[in-house]
Structure 1
Amino acid sequence: MVFGDSQSVARLRADFDRQGAMQSMGITVADVAPGRVILEMPFNPAFSQHHGFMHAGTITSGMDSACGFAAFTLMDAESEVLTVEFKCSFLAPARGQSFRFEGNVLKSGRTLTFTEGRAIAVDAGQETMVATITATMMAVRGLKA
């Protein structure tokens, strides 16, 4: 299966939509291309921390999913994706009207895929990169939910 056909994009979107965490946070798929996924999320005070910024765990979850699904776009049709490890760095307080999570594949292998991503806060048309991530994703075959 070549990613980008309507069947592969539909599979990615269906898998993404089954994530209760992403639904709860209001994170949606904005764009998909081979090796790249962009997710978006409106600000929601339910996921803020005590200073009113978006919580680091929420930002990390968005970046992790963007990277995971970017890796998924380059995996074979029998594979599912799981996170093996990641490291996040926060560059600025996560404040904004909305957030964009970008995931990009650096190197895709049969089992492991190396990715990087970023979280961008959008506020009154101004964009601020608030966090970065490097993550390793694993192709898992025969996974039962």
Structure 2
Amino acid sequence: MKTIGARLDLVDDGKVIISVKLKKNMMQQHGFGHAGVTFSIGDSAAGYAALTKMEEHQEVLTSEMKIHLLSPADGKILKAVGSVLKKGKRLIVVKSDIYSIKDEKEKMVATMLGTMVPSIVSS
């Protein structure tokens, strides 16, 4: 996330918000925010949301993630709201909704659904 200048705006139990200011090198050929950036912050927000449900010695890994691109990201900022839908012993089902912000108005541009797998941190 450091590479694209994303920031954590909220970390709560089962919920994380990440935002990024879109720069010229993050745009696709038509001037909209690139789907790769959208996916990246959505996956991270969902993963960090899952991490809030884990023990201190645990991490999570993305097992699978599906994205539905709903509308062009035509704003100056992208915001991903990640949340945990269900935490099980072996799998954590997560979602992330991504919004484009333009003139202080939010428009949902993508929604994601995925599965995280708990992992033990090795020293």
Give the shorter-chain TM-score range.
over 0.9
1:67 counterpart = 2:49: no
TM-score, normalization: structure 1? 0.82
Q: Tell me if the contact between 1:107 and 1:115 (Cα under 8 Å) persists in the aligned partners.
A: yes
Q: Following TM superposition, where does structure 1 have runs of at least 4 consecutive aligned residues deviating by more than 6 angstroms?
A: none
CA distance in 1, matches of 2:122, 2:63: 15
Residue number among 27, 37, 53 corresponding to 1:58 in the alignment: 37
CA distance in 1, matches of 2:16, 2:63: 18
Alignment of 1:1-145 (within 5 A): 22-143=1-122
How far 1:143 moved relative to its partner?
4.0
Query: Cα RMSD over matched residues?
Result: 1.0
Structure showing the higher strand proportion among its residues: 2
Determine what percentage of the aligned residue pairs are the same residue: 37
Gap runs ≥5 in structure 2 = none
Partner of 2:20, secondary structure, is strand
CA distance in 2, matches of 1:24, 1:96: 20
CA distance in 2, matches of 1:142, 1:37: 21
Structure showing the higher helix proportion among its residues: 1
Amino acid at match of 1:67: A
How far 1:111 moved relative to its partner?
2.5
| 1:63–1:28 CA distance, 2 compared to 1 (3 A) | same
CA distance in 1, matches of 2:22, 2:35: 13
Greater RCO (CA < 8 Å, at least 6 residues apart): 2
Question: Can you list the C-alpha shifts for 1:75-109, whole angstroms capped at 9, x where unaligned?
Answer: 11111111000100011001101111000100012
Q: Tell me if the contact between 1:37 and 1:70 (Cα under 8 Å) persists in the aligned partners.
A: yes
